[in-house]
Amino acid sequence: MSSNAAALSDMLILERASIIRRLVRIVGSEPAAEDVAQSLYLRVQRIDDSIAIVNKRSFLFRLASNLAIDHVRAEGTRARIQAEAEAFLWADFAQPGPEEIVAAEAELQQVLTAARTLPEPTRSIFRMHRFDGLRQSDVAAKLGVSVTTIEKHVRRALDILRAARDRT
């Protein structure tokens, strides 16, 4: 451990109560302040002797404040993302209108027609992989061909079905 790290660790032990009070004011709760204090301790352990720290107490309190501010920002970001996710997950989605239903049914019929007209062995390979749930390696072993061949047939089927879907 560097001499800076040792001195700051000793200072952290002596000033722990004051640091926790400051952290509580910044982060808003004692448990969060304790978490930041733990981060502070770990951060202090990584400080080397490459720079001379003249006022170790000020340095320690500034580092604690910076870590607390980072903690508050991270919690704010986390809360915002959580709120957005919950709003998306629990939002009431509007029921589709008659035109959307008709368009979706027409699109589905085009894709089903294209699926029925897939050339062999592409149709069988696609059915085994996508509908029977077999892995591509299992389909390849069953048919006695390479996995690359199976990949090409699946890709071909998807391209044909995608083109049929996009024609609406």
Note the pLDDT tens digit of each residue in 50-65. 888 889 999 999 999 9
Complete domains list, the chain, with CATH: 3-90 (1.10.1740.10), 98-166 (1.10.10.10)
pTM above 0.75, yes or no: no
Note the pLDDT tens digit of each residue in 17-62. 999 999 999 999 999 999 999 999 999 999 988 888 889 999 999 9
In angstroms, the CA 9 to CA 15 distance is: 10
In angstroms, the CA 39 to CA 5 distance is: 14
Phi and psi torsions of 141, nearest 5°: -65, -40
How many helices (H) and strands (E) are present in the chain, helices listed first?
Answer: 8, 0
